């Protein structure tokens, strides 16, 4: 029996779980034909069922046969997504992308594995790395290049922007677009706070908040 | 005849009108569109129709002979909304919740009746919402939120996870509430007003007016040169 596990029952997991059947129908019809069961994976859960789905511990999930098991990580923190997805992939589990039924992906090259695309759009001529997470009502406009494990909140519109690995752009942040020959750059591991207004390039590891934005602190970039 | 009275004739009422037929069909599946009548209910004199629908006074609406009568208080001001809803409940009219087909409600959402959810709203899992909740266009209510009675959201409001929004709170267009922690949720006190595009990063005391990014308390009289509400 094929099992699809979504890790995390915090915020992101329950948002994407109801979208899995639609996503399978359009992107992995061969999996849908095998009538997979959908489970949450969460080690510290107090219940064994959540919103109509079984909740498994990570250890139980790892004991499943890898060739019949797919997963994705519904955690907003990019490093946690990297840690968990690399560990499970090393056991042979497949990383499955999940698309919202009202999402649209016109990316120039196919997005990296493990995308979690909410009610959002990715426009033409953009490239997307591994395990991107986009929440609702966002738009990745044209000529964007997103690194691996990037997190984009809701109501974010970016265009002509390069986003480094592990960067997070939170709800309603405004990033003024660069130009085709000089894209706006958001550094590796940078965090753009909710509603921040960014009109300059953001250095690696910077935490930017406010309107006009100021640098709250600089996190070390590994 | 099944009659729905939309209380008010303002922008919220006009938005509510677009969701009316869909919501009536949800409440009465199988009934033909001809079997529904949707009217505006307003105290203000003026034109007698709006967008092809009659405008009635509350007395006329209550006296109307109908098989089933519903109301929805499409009034953005929460105090007036409560007043209007209480009046209609006293007259024995029952509330009808209005939602657009594009609105997405995920599992584990409990809502009291009388809401208005126009286009492109998203309610994530594990949300509890009180009566007569009123949202604008394209709002997002994230996980583990508790929203009280008569709460009003403007357009593009995003309410992140683990927040408690008490009764009569108004969150204006583009404003956002930052997420709390499961053991310490962000709390917006009763009757607080979060002004447009404000970013709330902590608890808000009851009745406060907050503006800016990050949101700070403001004096509404100074801000608007008069009593705004």
CA quadruple A55, A113, A11, B96: dihedral positive or negative?
negative
Query: CA-based Rg of chain B, rounded to a whole angstrom?
Result: 18
Q: Which of A96, A122, A151 is the last residue of a domain?
A: A96
Burial class (CB in 10 A: 0-12, 13-18, 19+), A58: middle
User: Do A44 and A122 share a structural domain?
Assistant: no
User: Do A127 and A196 share a structural domain?
Assistant: yes
ipTM above 0.85, yes or no: no
Q: Which of A54, A79, A96 is the last residue of a domain?
A: A96
User: Do A202 and A104 share a structural domain?
Assistant: yes
**Domain assignment of residue A215, yes or no:** no
Segments forming the whole domain that contains residue A141: 100-206
Task: State the Cα–Cα distance between residues B183 and B1, nearest whole angstrom.
Answer: 50
Measured between CA atoms, the residue of chain A closest to residue B200 is A194
Q: Which of A96, A116, A144 is the last residue of a domain?
A: A96
Whether residue A155 lies within 8 A of chain B, CB to CB, comes out as: yes
For residue B204, what are the contacts with CB-CB under 8 A and spacing of at least 6?
B187, B188, B189, B192, B194, B210, B215
| Residue contact A119–B197, C-beta within 8 A | no
Q: What is the DSSP string of B159-179?
A: E-SSEEE-TT-EE-TT-EE--
Distance from CA of B173 to the nearest CA of A (A): 12
Task: State the Cα–Cα distance between residues A218 and B176, nearest whole angstrom.
Answer: 24
CB < 8 Å to B197, chain A: 195, 211
User: Do A118 and A174 share a structural domain?
Assistant: yes
**Domain assignment of residue A216, yes or no:** no
| Residue contact B214–A209, C-beta within 8 A | yes
For residue B198, what are the contacts with CB-CB under 8 A and spacing of at least 6?
B172, B175, B176, B210, B211, B212, B213, B215
User: Do A17 and A91 share a structural domain?
Assistant: yes
Task: State the Cα–Cα distance between residues B75 and B72, nearest whole angstrom.
Answer: 9
User: Do A193 and A127 share a structural domain?
Assistant: yes
Could you tell me the domains of chain B? 2-96 (3.40.50.20), 99-224 (2.160.10.10)
Tens digit of each residue's pLDDT, chain B (229 residues): 899 999 998 888 988 988 998 999 999 998 888 899 999 998 776 678 888 888 998 889 999 889 999 999 999 999 999 999 999 999 999 999 999 998 888 878 999 999 999 988 988 878 999 999 999 998 999 888 999 999 999 999 999 889 999 999 999 999 999 989 889 999 999 999 999 999 999 999 999 999 998 899 998 777 777 655 4
How many CB atoms are closer than 10 A to CB A86? Answer: 12
**Domain assignment of residue A199, yes or no:** yes
Number of compact structural domains in chain A: 2
User: Do A187 and A135 share a structural domain?
Assistant: yes
| Structural element, H or E, at residue B221 | helix B220-224
Q: Among partner residues A15, A210, A211, which is closest to B124 by beta-carbon distance?
A: A15
Query: Residue A147 pLDDT > 70, yes or no?
Result: yes
């Amino acid at each position: 029996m094929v099992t699809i596990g979504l890790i995390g029952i915090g915020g992101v997991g329950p948002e994407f779980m109801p979208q899995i059947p639609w996503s399978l129908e359009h992107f992995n019809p061969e999996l849908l034909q095998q009538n997979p069961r959908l489970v949450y994976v969460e080690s510290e859960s107090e219940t064994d069922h959540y919103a109509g789905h079984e909740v498994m511990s990570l250890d139980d999930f790892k004991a499943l046969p890898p060739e019949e098991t797919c997963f994705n990580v519904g955690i907003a923190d990019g490093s946690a997504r990297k840690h968990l997805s690399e560990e499970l992939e090393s056991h042979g589990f497949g990383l499955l992308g999940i698309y919202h039924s009202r999402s649209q992906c016109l990316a120039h090259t196919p997005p990296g594995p493990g995308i979690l695309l909410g009610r959002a759009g990715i426009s033409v001529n953009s490239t997307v790395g591994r395990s991107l997470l986009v929440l609702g009502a966002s738009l990745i406009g044209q000529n964007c290049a997103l690194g691996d494990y990037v997190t984009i909140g809701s109501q974010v519109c970016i265009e002509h922007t390069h986003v480094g690995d592990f960067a997070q752009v939170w709800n309603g942040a405004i990033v003024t677009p660069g130009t085709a020959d000089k894209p706006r750059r958001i550094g590796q591991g940078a965090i753009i706070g909710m509603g921040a207004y960014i009109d300059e390039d953001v250095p690696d590891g910077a935490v930017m908040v406010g309107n006009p934005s100021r640098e709250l602190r600089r996190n070390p970039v590994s | 005849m099944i009659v729905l009275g939309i209380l008010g004739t303002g922008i919220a009422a006009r938005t509510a009108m677009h969701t009316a037929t869909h919501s009536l069909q949800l409440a009465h599946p199988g009934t033909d569109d001809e079997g529904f009548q949707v009217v505006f209910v307003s105290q203000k004199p003026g034109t007698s129709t709006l967008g092809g629908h009659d405008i009635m006074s509350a007395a006329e609406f209550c006296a109307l002979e109908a098989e089933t009568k519903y109301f929805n208080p499409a009034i953005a001001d929460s105090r007036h909304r409560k007043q209007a809803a209480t009046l209609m409940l006293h007259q024995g009219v029952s509330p009808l919740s209005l939602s657009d087909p594009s609105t997405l409600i995920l599992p584990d959402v409990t809502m009291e009746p009388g809401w208005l959810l126009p286009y492109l709203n998203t309610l994530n899992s594990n949300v509890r919402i009180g009566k007569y909740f009123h949202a604008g266009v394209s709002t997002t209510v994230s996980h583990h939120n508790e929203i009280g009675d008569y709460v009003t959201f403007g357009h593009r409001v995003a309410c992140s996870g683990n927040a408690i929004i008490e009764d009569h709170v108004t969150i204006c267009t583009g404003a956002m509430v930052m997420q709390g922690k499961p053991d310490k949720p962000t709390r917006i006190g009763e009757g607080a007003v979060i002004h447009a595009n404000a970013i709330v990063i902590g608890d808000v005391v009851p009745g406060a007016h907050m503006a800016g990014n990050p949101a700070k308390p403001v004096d509404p009289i100074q801000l608007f040169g008069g009593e705004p509400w």
